[in-house]
């Protein structure tokens, strides 16, 4: 008896179909990859001091694909057909960037890279503008709120302000266009001035503003803060809170608090809470004073000894 069993007509047909699939699948995939042509003629169509406009001739072949524009060999900015243009703006001055583009379809097949083009941003020698002109929106015996119009820079949005008080830096490299000074002296003349710089350290300085604070409006200090509490969720930040003081003339929202750690002034602010920093594992002695807008200072709160810092 033969050791081989006949496979029959259905078996022969199945074997033929399987063979055709094995042959056809890679051929079809190869056709898909080959049909996605490479974008060509990448070119620069326009520039400014810090921007470049690109264009290229389109790819063909796949029904669903998009372009990937790379900058200096990395990243991918997607551009969907039929669009074949892109404009990029940079905040880095005097820097060279290279560009290439390739096409990629929904199956992940991608073309080869196009030719490359290069663009160099110009050196930035222009400061932001306009130079900040300071104005006072609120003036109290010990307090002044200053504001100024926002400046803009030709190389992007990264700009920083420095506030000078009597010619010395008071706040350096900060972003807001206002500041409230809480620790002034009544009946005292101050000179306020603001400078703005960009990342290349081009600086524009506004004109000085001379302001004299008014006289005290009362002589009675706020009540003493009570119920001082401390906590540290991570051993690093020291979260402090207390019961708000009251004053004979100022609302509670206007009362300033001076926070002392081991006898050293560590924080000044409005509101009956603040966050300080743990500096060592040693116990720290904490107390708070309340100060009204005339500069009258309360008695210190009870001293709290906190020993749970773990910086």
What confidence score (pLDDT) does residue 43 get? 98
**Count of domains forming the chain:** 3
What confidence score (pLDDT) does residue 311 get? 82
What confidence score (pLDDT) does residue 30 get? 41
The CATH number of the domain holding residue 267 is 2.60.40.10
Residue 17 lies in a domain: no
The verdict on whether omega for the bond into residue 34 sits within 30 degrees of 0, i.e. cis, is: no
Residue 29 lies in a domain: no
Token pair for 131: 């130079």
Q: Residue 102's domain spans which residues?
A: 36-120
The answer for residues whose C-beta is within 8 angstroms of residue 30's C-beta and 6 or more apart is none
In this predicted structure, the answer to whether residue 280 has a pLDDT above a threshold of 70 is yes
What confidence score (pLDDT) does residue 63 get? 76
Q: Do 141 and 174 have their domain in common?
A: yes
Identify the domain boundary among 59, 90, 120: 120
Compute the CA torsion angle 267, 271, 273, 278 (nearest 10 deg).
-10
**Sheet strands (E) in 95-175:** 96-105, 117-120, 135-140, 143-147, 159-165, 168-174
Among 212, 162, 164, 206, which Cα is nearest to 185's?
Answer: 212
Report the C-alpha gap between 201 and 18 in whole angstroms. 70
What confidence score (pLDDT) does residue 23 get? 38
Among 13, 24, 32, 86, which Cα is nearest to 54's?
Answer: 86
Compute the CA torsion angle 62, 65, 66, 70 (nearest 10 deg).
-80
Residue 94 lies in a domain: yes
Report the C-alpha gap between 225 and 243 in whole angstroms. 6
Q: What is the rounded end-to-end Cα distance, in angstroms, of the chain?
A: 88
Q: Do 196 and 144 have their domain in common?
A: yes
Identify the domain boundary among 160, 187, 212: 212
For 296-310, how does the pLDDT look when each residue is reduced to its tens digit (9 = 90+)? 999 999 999 999 888
Report the C-alpha gap between 90 and 200 in whole angstroms. 13
Average pLDDT of the segment spanning 261-274:
95
The answer for residues whose C-beta is within 8 angstroms of residue 224's C-beta and 6 or more apart is 245, 290, 298, 299, 300, 301
The answer for residues whose C-beta is within 8 angstroms of residue 75's C-beta and 6 or more apart is none
Residue 264 lies in a domain: yes
CB 57 within 8 A of CB 41: yes
CB 59 within 8 A of CB 36: yes
What confidence score (pLDDT) does residue 235 get? 83
In this predicted structure, the answer to whether residue 14 has a pLDDT above a threshold of 90 is no
For 112-146, how does the pLDDT look when each residue is reduced to its tens digit (9 = 90+)? 999 999 999 999 999 999 999 999 999 999 999 99
**Sheet strands (E) in 141-270:** 143-147, 159-165, 168-174, 178-181, 189-198, 203-205, 209-212, 226-231, 237-243, 256-261, 264-270
In this predicted structure, the answer to whether residue 15 has a pLDDT above a threshold of 80 is no
């Amino acid at each position: 008896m033969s050791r081989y069993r006949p496979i029959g007509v259905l078996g022969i047909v199945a074997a033929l179909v399987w063979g055709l699939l094995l042959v056809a699948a890679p051929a079809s995939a190869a056709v898909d990859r080959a049909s996605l042509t490479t974008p060509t003629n990448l070119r620069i169509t326009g520039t400014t001091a810090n921007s470049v406009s690109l264009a290229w001739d389109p790819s063909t072949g796949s029904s669903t694909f998009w372009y990937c524009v790379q900058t200096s060999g990395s990243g991918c900015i997607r551009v969907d057909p039929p669009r074949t243009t892109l404009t990029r703006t940079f905040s880095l001055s005097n820097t060279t960037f290279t560009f290439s583009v390739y096409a990629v379809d929904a199956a992940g097949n991608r073309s080869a890279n196009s030719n490359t083009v290069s663009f160099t941003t110009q050196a930035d020698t222009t400061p932001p503008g306009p130079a900040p002109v300071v104005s006072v929106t609120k003036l109290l015996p010990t307090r002044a709120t200053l504001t100024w119009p926002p400046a803009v820079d030709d190389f992007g949005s990264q700009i920083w302000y420095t506030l000078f008080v009597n010619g010395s830096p008071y706040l350096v490299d900060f972003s807001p266009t206002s500041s409230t000074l809480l620790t002034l002296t009544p009946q005292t003349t101050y000179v306020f001035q603001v400078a703005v710089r960009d990342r290349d350290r081009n600086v524009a300085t506004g004109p000085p503003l001379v302001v004299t604070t008014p006289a005290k409006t009362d002589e009675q200090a706020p009540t003493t803060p009570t119920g001082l509490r401390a906590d540290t969720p991570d051993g690093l930040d020291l979260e402090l809170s207390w019961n708000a003081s009251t004053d004979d003339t100022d609302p509670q929202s206007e009362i300033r608090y001076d926070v002392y750690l081991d006898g050293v002034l560590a924080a000044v602010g409005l509101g009956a809470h603040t966050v300080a920093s743990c500096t060592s594992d040693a116990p720290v002695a904490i107390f708070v004073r309340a100060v009204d807008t005339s500069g009258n200072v309360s008695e210190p709160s009870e001293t709290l000894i906190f020993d749970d810092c773990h910086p």
